[in-house]
Structure 1
Amino acid sequence: MSSPYYMSAESLTPRKEICNYFAGFPVYALAWSRREDRGAFRMAVSSFSEEPSNSLQVVQLSPQHDASHIPERTDFGVVAATSVDYPLSKIQWQPGLGPDLVAGVGDALHIWECEMSGEMGDMGLSRGRLRARSKLTTRADYAAPITSMDWNTINPRLVLTSSIDTTCTLWDVETQQAKTQLIAHDREVFDVSFVAGSQDVFVSAGADGSVRMFDLRALEHSTILYEAPAAVAPSTDSLNDHAHARLSSFTPPLLRLSCNAVDPNYIATFALDSNRVSIVDVRNPGAAVAQLCGHQAPVHAISWSPTSPTQLCSAGADSRVLVWDIHQALSARQHQQRQAVAAAAQAKHLGRISNKATDAPSIHAAAHAAAAHALAQQPVPVAPSLTYAARLPVNSLAWHQSSPEWISIAFGSTVQTLRL
């Protein structure tokens, strides 16, 4: 007989297209629980405050939530909470059916166990608590801030973390020990993720503007899958007490990446202050196979669908949430590449003619070659398949793992769960 205080997945199915949760603090990180046996519509929510007083909450959809859409009414209730000093840059639930653990990273790798009491609280939900299980750091005296993490779905003992000290660390959460640590980038590492279906291969993104792939079985080698194109920014030189404005190029940092959960060949990433999402094919390292350009302001978050190899969601500072069909983008990219090949062939033909005639055809040949190169670098004009406008810039998003028709977004102190 099932426990009386756990609601069945059916009883927790939302009765409307949009469900709200009002946290009472600026929300930064979100993570859906991966366990259907303990509430399919339960998530972890964490705050962002520069003060040494932050919150981590476990919230669950109330069985008493109203089917009517009332913007000011909350549909989720808090079932457990704890306080942390520093903001959590990422949170995740443990995969599988083991202990009900949730992890978060910031000043360290924190792991809590969500324990339910069986006592009923507000909104028809059971009360619980988050009991601290471990706080893991690589050094006892000082540990560099951790920027991201990924919990392996094949072997739930393994957690990867990335840090501003240029390293990635593999942890065994059962022994609470670091198994491996490596220098992954030349500068800060901002994100890390296991490749789908593997407990050995992972990718990382960093301030050096690159996405790199590693294999834990052969760490002496790594592969640079993608490097962000150089950007141009104004700078000022001081010479003889006079300021001289000039343009300088730099490689923008890559802030986040997301590995396709179904097709391990595709990775999505975006750069600092960029409104584009780059799609990388690990079989063709070097350049992005597609650029998604639907946002009017910098992208803040991306996530692949947990069940579809072609769906990707992005959210950004323009308050928009976009769902993309990557198959459409790749088809458009292939058409663009065929046009570039045709332009290059024309340039080659004109080049041959220039050897037998005047310099005029040579000029045309160079122009065609330049046009072919420019065409190959242009972003693919693909429209998103779904669009949603939030009230404020969207900081994060989380795709429901077992019910992929639902996705949650965070803006301000609000978390909205949307039906796609």
Structure 2
Amino acid sequence: MTSADNDTVKRKEIYKYEAPLALFSMNWSNRPDKKFRLALGSFIEEYANKVYIVQLDEATSEFKTLVTFDHPYPTTKIMWIPDEGSAHPDILATSGDYLRIWKCSERDDATSVKSECLLNNNKNSDFCAPLTSFDWNETDPNLIGTSSIDTTCTIWNLETKQVIGKHSAALTGHVRTQLIAHDKEVYDIAFSKIGSGRDIFASVGADGSVRLFDLRHLEHSTIIYEDSAHNPLLRLAFNKMDHNYIGTMTMDSSDLIILDIRVPGTPVATLKNHRACINGLAWAPHSSIHICTAADDHQALIWDVGQMPRNIEDPILAYTADGEVNQVQWASSQPDWIAICYNNCLEILRV
């Protein structure tokens, strides 16, 4: 990335991977022994999509594809298990028509992936309501929450069942709770680390609201923010270091809204420098005052929001890609690296 005000132009490291298909979903591996490993999901408007697991070879400065596997429909989100201590199996989750759990294995320097379980909360029908997103609880990796176009959020309990006489463990899951979260489609869900770190989550949806839930008291929810024109809210993310703050964005808007859940109703800041609609946001994993946004204007911008609620005029770093940036992820185990996706390209950027 380059200094946004061009006072100094500093060469930063950039590595690029070109996939055979257009890319949408993407996530960094959290494992310390899997540096520069990412999972990528294709986006083509048909059934036969792909997931690529790629890793940067630091010796050659080139990405290599470790494994490719088929995925029905595009992945609306993809996540590695948030397990920096490698205490759990090396598993990956994807959302689309269902929530799918995949297990990644290595043998003789070859990587393989197999489906562990398919989680469907509608047992009474052959039809499913597509999942728009999901989030994996960082405090308790046995919890995954999904959001759906059918107005619901579902919290799943993952379970590992040890198979007697075998070293491998079988993964299964059951619905812990399902609730009608919004009046219209739910577009995103995110767990918070407030309190115990496992009970609080928020969601956004087509009704234009941000709602906060507590797994211990699901009969109540708190509306943190409502768009004045009831425009849909597409994404949300909690500040990684200060979970009082949430970033969210309105459909077809170039602004990012930052909310303080202690002061519901009014944004504490609005970031306005993009020149086309924002597609993604990522809070820094190591700093409470930095956030990255990505948009159709080909730009990824890093902001210092430490002066909130004072107005934030300009980003501190900017990067211009060769296409509309539809995804941005900040590596939790390598906080000096950000990944972006545009067209069929992944780029990782040292910041």
TM-score (norm 1): 0.75
- Alignment of 1:106 onto 2:93: no
Deviation readout 1:181-225 (Å, 9 max, x if unpaired): 000000000000001251100000000000000000000111000
**Structure 2 Cα separation of the partners of residues 323 and 219 of structure 1:** 36
1:84 alignment partner AA? H
- Alignment of 1:116 onto 2:116: no
- Alignment of 1:410 onto 2:341: yes
**Structure 2 Cα separation of the partners of residues 218 and 278 of structure 1:** 27
| Structure 2 match to 1:40 | 35
| Structure 2 match to 1:85 | 72
**More displaced 10-residue stretch of structure 1: 54-63 or 206-215:** 54-63
| Structure 1 match to 2:301 | 322
| Structure 2 match to 1:143 | 128
**Structure 2 Cα separation of the partners of residues 169 and 222 of structure 1:** 15
**Structure 2 Cα separation of the partners of residues 65 and 298 of structure 1:** 36
1:36 alignment partner AA? P
Deviation readout 1:281-332 (Å, 9 max, x if unpaired): 000001111100010000000010111101000000000100011113x152
Mapping for residues 323-402 of structure 1, pairs under 5 Å:
323-328=302-307, 330-332=308-310, 380-402=311-333
Mapping for residues 122-271 of structure 1, pairs under 5 Å:
127-140=110-123, 141-174=126-159, 175-196=172-193, 198-230=197-229, 251-271=230-250
| Structure 2 match to 1:353 | none
1:214 alignment partner AA? F
Q: Equivalent of 1:76, from 43, 59, 63?
A: 63
1:258 alignment partner AA? A
C-alpha contact 1:196 1:260 (8 A) present in aligned 2: no
| Structure 2 match to 1:247 | none
C-alpha contact 2:269 2:312 (8 A) present in aligned 1: no
**Structure 2 Cα separation of the partners of residues 405 and 196 of structure 1:** 22
After the TM superposition, list the runs of 4 or more consecutive aligned residues in structure 1 that deviate by more than 4 angstroms.
Answer: none
C-alpha contact 1:323 1:386 (8 A) present in aligned 2: yes
**Structure 2 Cα separation of the partners of residues 51 and 147 of structure 1:** 16
Unaligned runs of at least 5 residues, structure 2: 1-10, 160-171
**Structure 2 Cα separation of the partners of residues 254 and 189 of structure 1:** 9
Q: Equivalent of 2:264, from 245, 268, 285?
A: 285
1:393 alignment partner AA? E
C-alpha contact 1:186 1:208 (8 A) present in aligned 2: yes
Q: Percent identity?
A: 44
| Structure with higher helix content | 1
**Structure 1 Cα separation of the partners of residues 153 and 202 of structure 2:** 10
C-alpha contact 1:259 1:267 (8 A) present in aligned 2: yes
- Alignment of 1:61 onto 2:60: no
2:22 alignment partner AA? P
TM-score (norm 2): 0.90
**Structure 2 Cα separation of the partners of residues 60 and 381 of structure 1:** 36
CA RMSD, Structure 1 to Structure 2 (Å): 1.3
C-alpha contact 2:305 2:312 (8 A) present in aligned 1: no
What secondary structure sits across from 1:51 in the alignment? Answer: coil
Q: How many residues align?
A: 322
Higher-RCO chain (CA-CA 8 Å, sequence separation at least 6):
2
- Alignment of 1:30 onto 2:60: no
| Structure 2 match to 1:363 | none
